[in-house]
Structures are given as C-alpha cells and as structure tokens.
Structure 1
Amino acid sequence: MKALVVEDDAAIADFAEMILVEQGFTVEKAGDGKQGVEKALSFHPDLILLDLMMPGMHGLQVCELLRKEASLKGVRILICSSKSYASDIEEAMAAGADEYLTKPYGAKDLVKKVRTLLAVSGGVEPGAPAADSLTVPTGSQAESKAAAPERGAGPVTVHFWGTRGSSPAPGPDTVRYGGNTACTELRFGDLLIILDCGTGLRPLGAKLAAEFQGRLIDGHIFVGHTHWDHIQGFPFFYPFYLKQNRLSVYSVRGAGKSLERVFRGQMAADYFPVPLESLACDLRFIELEGPLTLGPVQVSYMYLNHPGLAIGFRFEGLGRSICYLSDHEGYVLFGGDNEVSRKSEAKLLEFVRGCDLLICEAQYTDEEYTYKKGWGHSTYRDVVQRALDAGVKRLSLFHHDPTHDDAMMERLEAECREQARRGGNGLLCSAAREGETLSL
C-alpha cells in the first residue's frame, strides 16, 4: 500500500515516514499543500497524512480539493495537527477528512489510527521501543517570512481604533482603554494598511472620508480571522460605499468557502439590510498563499493557535517592522511542555523577533485562563515573556477582555510593565488605548 505524508515540518514528516515504512507502506512526502495535491494526483496513495497549518495552501483547502478528484475517491485522509480545538476537528471532518490525530503523537497512536482506517496488519508492533515518542528539533524559520526590506526614512504610524476582544464594551468604565473591537490603522508613508474589521472600523471610515475629501482611498485591509469581533465593522465602513475608492481585503481562504463568500454571508439579508453587491468601490478579496509586497512594505504571515483559521502578520518597510498577533493561545500554555509545543513556540518567536512593535492579544489573567483554557487566547504574563524572549522593542497589549474595566486595565498594565522591567532588555510595554497614536 502507498502513503503520502503532507507536512511542512521535516522532522515530523521523517518520523511518520519511518513508522509507515515499518508498517509496509511505500511512502512519499510533500512539504506544502500545493505539492501535496500534485503528488496525490500522480502517486495515487491509499492513505494521506495531512497537516493543517502549512504555508501557502492550508490543510483544509487541500482536503477539499482532494475530495473533488474522482481518481482519489477511495483515499483515506488522516489529519495530523497540534490544534486540538473541537471546532478544528469539526471543520476537518466537514472538509472530507476521515480521522484526526493530535500532535505530538507516538508510534502506537499513528499505527492505531492507520489500522482503524485501512485495517492494516503486520509490521512493527504498536508500542515497540522503536521511535515511540516524537522528538522534534527546535529553531526552524517561521512560515511565510518575507526577506528583510531595504531600510529607509519615512513616517511610520500606528493608530488604535478598536482594542477590545470578543465583544464591544461601551460605557463610562471603559473610556480610557476603549470599547470598540479590533481595528488598527498603519501608515507607512502614504501607504494605508488596516488590521481587522471590528467595530473600530466604522469611526476609522468616517475619519478617512473626511481626510481624503472625495479623493481616491487606496487601502489594504488584513484580516487575522473572521470571528465576529474582527469583522463586525465591515458593513459600516463608509469608504466601501464610495465609487472612487479601491480597497483590498487580505486573508487566507476560509474553511469550505472563499474569503469573499465569508463576507458575503455576513451581509446576507438575514443579518444586514444591504448586500455585498451594493458596495460601490473597487473591492477585491485576495486569498494569501505567501508573502507579498505593497509599495515599500513587505508582508508575511504565519498561522496562530486559535480555533479555526487564524493568522498573524509581519509588516516591514521604511526601516520599521510591526507584528500583529490578534488571537493566539500559547503553544506550551495550551498543549503542554513537549517538543511539538516548544518548536511551534520557537517558530512564532522567530517570526516576531526584533520587531519595533508587537501588537499582541493578551486577554486573560492567569486566574481567568484556568477556566478559559482552550478558548484560543493568551495571558498577560505569557505575552510579555514572549516579547522578552523575542527581543521585541515595544509591546502593545491588545484585544482586552470586555469585562476588564479601566481600573483593572491600569493594574494589569502596571504589572506587565514591572515584568518587562525585570526582563532587563529595555522592552517598552503598554496596553493599547483606543484613539492612541504611536510614531515609530
């Protein structure tokens, strides 16, 4: 029998190959999603081990494409991922997967799943000493990391239009840190970049309309993921309704649907009185498959640990670098202190390493995390330590919990600044405030 391992981590791919060969399989490997689809069509495997979070084409998209191929009708697909969220497992099954195996896995785990899928017998006895645990070296480069741009001079500014996570939190107790959900404006010289489309997008739209006074607004909107708090403001962005504007929305393809279809569904008649077709501007939806260049800025991204498809961004241009991690649950915090978690964390550290500004979700206290583990969010302490470990110059804590009023936010901000001071590397740390502008 034949097996195809589609996995961007070479150590994990080699481990799976070794176990499958011992079980009598002929094995081929692919290092990314596109290569996996091509090899599946030429190799015609009986079994495919498929990672979820890969650069370029993610595993859900690969699974959907493979299930449309008549020549692969009988292939069995086993998703192997460090993401153990129930929603990810459900999405994988909906995309056409037959089984799901959580990393890190040992030889016994893999052989059991394979035998269940294919009724394979013989080969190495499950639980034999040969490679029953997965050891993965650390220090790989983060996925989709763009090359460093040329350094130059130019104004680089950041303005926070929405700093809350989960749901808006208006009222007198949140006026200092803000009540609108995630939306941040970046300016690299004249280049306009918008991060997420939470309720803060509405006031940003009004400001841009007043600033440009009928002139072309050429903007680039990057969406980390499409949960409610990151898209609530999309239909209320006034520049969408002005014919002269050109606006592009960037993210990865959704689970089972295109990026455009996700936003079209949000504006369906059951939820909103105006359909997507009524937006008058030149609106484009661009599904990311790798780094891209926008004028003087190079943009790269990597997948985050959050239920569903979520990505973080790195923007480099005009001599400055900004990283944005909107929703992320620390790998070790969630998955335990094992080789897979440590390697995943190392890749994230490499992705944000040395940036001038890290905007990072930090929603929970340590106490809150004890009963919200698995919700896809980080603790304040974990985020500050990540910034220290990565040599970040400045950290803006973001995605504030809607239950945290201004008084609580001030206490948490003071605690984080003290943690940063004890770190000893000069990290500047603050909690993002709605209406705040940073000049880098």
Structure 2
Amino acid sequence: MATKNEPNLCSICNKSPGIRFCFGCNKQFCPKDLREHEKQLAMKFDNEVVRSHDELLDQIQQLEKSNYLSLDLFAQIEQWKQTTINKVERAAEKAQHELAELIDKKRIKATKQLQSITKEIRSRREEEIFVENDIDQLKQQIDKIRQQLGKLIQKDKTQSIIIENNHIDWNQLLHIRKIEDEHDIEEQQQSPGKQTNFSTYLSDLFATKFTSDTRNNEHLYRDPFNDELIQLCPSYPKYCVVPSTITNEEIREAAKFRSYKQFPTIVWRHINGAIIARVGQPEVGWPLRHSKEDENMIQAIINSHNDTLTTNSIESGKNLNRLLILHVGSHDAAIKNYAKYHINCNLEFMTLPDIHAISRNARMLRASNTTQCENWLSELTLTHWLHNLSVLIKAACCAVTNVDEHNRSVLVHCSNGQDHTSTMITLAEIMLDSHYLNNKWF
C-alpha cells in the first residue's frame, strides 16, 4: 500500500516514480521518460511553429520578388487588361472605319461640287464670256469648298469631325477593394454586381403589405426620371415615384407651376394603401393662376390610393376619400383659393414658422446659457425652440393620424417645399414605420 509521502508514478511507464513535473501538460515523469517527452516537444515545436513561421516568411518575401505577378489576383488583372486591350482595338478599328467612310463621303461631295465648277470654268474660258461678277462668284464657290475641306483636315477644335474619347471614367473602370468579413464574401457570391433598381426602391418605400405585391406596385407607379427630368429638379433623389398614368410631359408642365420645380412625388405608402406625397408650394401669384397638369397629378395620386382600397375599409368609414393637403407654414389666402381647384381635397395650415425664424431661434438657443442660469426654463422658452418642436411634432402627428387611422392620403408642402417639408415627412415616416415602433428604436 502506498503511503502518503510516496511520489506518484510516471505517467508514461507507470512504473518508476514520477519525480519530474511538466507544467505544460500537468503530468509527472520519471527522468528517462521526461527526456523523451522533451524530445517530442522539441519536434512538435519545430514542425508546428518553426515550420509554419518559415513558410509564412517565405510567402511574405515572395511578394517582394519579381515573380509576384504569378499570383492569381494579378493574373486576373492581366487577363482583364488583355481583354480590354482587345475590345479597345476593335473599337478603334470600328472608329477608323467610320472615320474613313465619313471622310470619303465628304471627299466625294467636294469632288462633285468642284467638277461642276470645273465644267463652268472650261466653258467660260473656251467661249471667253466672263465678267467681274462671274469671277467673284466662281472664286466664292471655290473658297467655300476649300473652307469645308480645311475644316476636315485641320487639327484645331473648329474641324467638322470631332473624335470624343472622354466618355470612359478610367479611374472607375477597374476597382480593387478589400472584403472585410465573411458577410461581404457571402454577399459577393450570392449577388455579384447587384445594383439598386426601381423595384428595390419601391420595396424600401412602401410598407410591408404592399412589398409582396410587386406587380401591383409597378402597375400603379413608375419612375419618371431621365437625364432631362433630373436636370429639371436637381434637389430630388435618383428615384422618384409618380402614378403610372402621368406622362413626363405632364410632369414638366406641373413642375413649372411649383416652386423650385418640385412636382408631386410619392414618398411613403402605408400598409392600408394611404399615401404621403410631397411637392413644392404652388406659385399662384396675384392672378391666381392654376395648372391643369398639376391638378391631374394630384388627382392621379388620389386615384392610385382608391385603387387599393378594400371593400371593408370603405364600408367601415375609415377612409374619408379626400386628400388632405398640409401646408406646413402659416395661413396663405392664395394657397387656400388654389386648393378649391382640387376636388376631393381639404387644406390645413400647420403654422410652423418659416426657415428664417427657425434659424434665428436656433442662434438664440446656442447663445443662451441655460446651464448656469437660475431661470433657465424661462430663458429657454424665450428662444421659442420648444414651441417650434411642438408645432413640428403636432404637424407630423396630424399626418400620421390621417394616414394610419383614417386611411387618408396626405400631400405636404411649405413655402419652398424643402426644409420644413423634408423634416416633417421624415418624422412622420419614422412614426409610421413598424421597425421603429419598439423600445429599442422609439
């Protein structure tokens, strides 16, 4: 029987006393087996650590050598370069062929014109019938042909044939970027070259109920933008949503009637089909002008909402079937009179101060010292900042209540259709978006 003071046996041979202890594996060895254990550790260190280190060092040093071009990524770039060179050569050959044809056409045209003059010169020389006017006329015809031919062969910018090669952004033709994590790699593999399109934009814009019915969305709405309309209203984003029944010509005419040419565009569609749209203020003026195209766009927005109404929502009386026009600013008689041209519409004024008053209040707020003032609440009240926030929230709540509870579409504009309109609509969308209606986000 082993006594209390006897050492444990060797963990290898299990015979000799284990008088040596390894702190790495927490085992005891006899002197003989300890030497063998140390040899195995040395071999493992060389094989697993030193060899891996040397291999990694070789790979790093290989990048410094001239044969790094053999790497796969550089091979891909080299292959792309050769493919691009071939495409450029084919494009250059095509352009040279087109240029030769164009020059040949102009040469033939100039030759025919000159042949006509040559016949007339020979005829007049043989008959010796010519006066000063004939000489001047023939000289003018020759100079005209010479001028046209000179434009063809001269090297300045006045030449009649211009070669344009600035349509390619060579800095963006090939792009190298590092993939940060596995999510990026998976996304690259699943959807290479994925780009945002109008259908994706509709899915982001419309609430969940309508994203599943893509055909219905694309039937009711479309993206009107092309290069011309983007220049028409540069403050609008890349994609805009308008009813599909509206033509681009109607949009151009309606934009002329709105400040900053901000035509009506849809920015939110709720799960019940109600719409929030934004637009610049109508430029009514003292003659009380109105625009038929603008009225058609407003009516089309109402119709696109009505097309999605269910029988239950109509019978329940939740839908008032009248568009609510919210003017964020103060009362304006001209706007009130213009609203009469829109049937099935109501107008409300939210009385939010104009942008100049807001800026002035913001300067007063920054200048106030509420942290070291006993009457800090009174000083804060004098800046009118809390009042401005209250009016803004009230306006957003008005839009939310009509859209969500009354199933009623809302059209928002203010004095210029920019600052207040964007702020109020953004706040209303946050209130309506179910993503933010939880303890984490709202």
TM-score, normalised with respect to structure 2: 0.19
The structure with the larger Rg is: 2
Higher helix share: 2
Higher strand share: 1
